[in-house]
Amino acid sequence: MPKSLAASVEGSKAEYVRLGKSGLKISVPVFGTMSIGDPGWIDWVEGEEKSLPLLKAAYDMGLNTWDTANVYSNGASEILVGKAIKKYNIPRNKVVVLTKCFGAVGEEMGVRSVMFPKEIKASKDYVNNHDASLKRLELDYIDLLQIHRFDPDTPHEETMEALHDLIKSGKWAPLFRGHLARPLSNLGKTTRSAPEADKGLTEADEGIVKRVQELADKKGWKMSHVALAWINKRVSSPIIGFSSVERIQEALDARGKTLTDEEEKYLEELYAPKNIIGHS
């Protein structure tokens, strides 16, 4: 490993893992940029003035993996990710860009994921959607392209062939909505945890949140660290949306924290399976 790269990794506050069985290395956590773009799309989204410095701070702290999507702020999120890379002269080979396609990008900022028949058909044109994302990002390639929703109406072979065409073209290179990060008494105090965002929160869920708080108090941790200690064991890297440098630091401070088998079982025993909501 080059000395400059070794020094950069050594000084990072984040850790890095391989994404599944791929050769792609990503940061832990991944910066989810749904909250970056244009507040005209959703009122809890941050605009350019706050978003660009936040992305730079994340990069400086070691979070070099950024996850966005074509529909986030109807393309504005991708635009700001590209602007940050360009404005702060971030080397392309030192940032990992993840984006998604499937939903239709609304022509007006206040319109979210227009899914009328015509738009549904257009949203499945993965090649053109991918090219549109590249244009907004001002990049030559994307490190990971994800299909935002499972498409039951298109033959799997057709979907995979379209993705394979993107690979051959060289344009691709290889927390429960925050409920587990704060006490129940704090729900509704942030825009994203407002009452309309809490639909589906069951009595069992409330019991789990209370157990997360109980374990956090017992261990002297933040609740988010209990949640991250549980999830980090089960995925390559969690995708987390951030609104401040303090939240980034809080997530990074969970590094190295683990739960015992008994503690994990204590958290899990109240869980009851749920129906899929949205694009989960």
Catalytic residue of the set 72, 126, 266, 271: 72
Instruction: Identify the CA nearest to 74 among candidates 126, 136, 140, 148.
Output: 136
What token pair was written down for 76? 């504005």
Active site includes 72?
yes
Residues 6 or more apart whose CB falls under 8 angstroms from that of 131 comprise 171
Query: Interior CA angle at 69 toward 75 and 82, to 5°?
Result: 60
Active site positions, annotated: 72
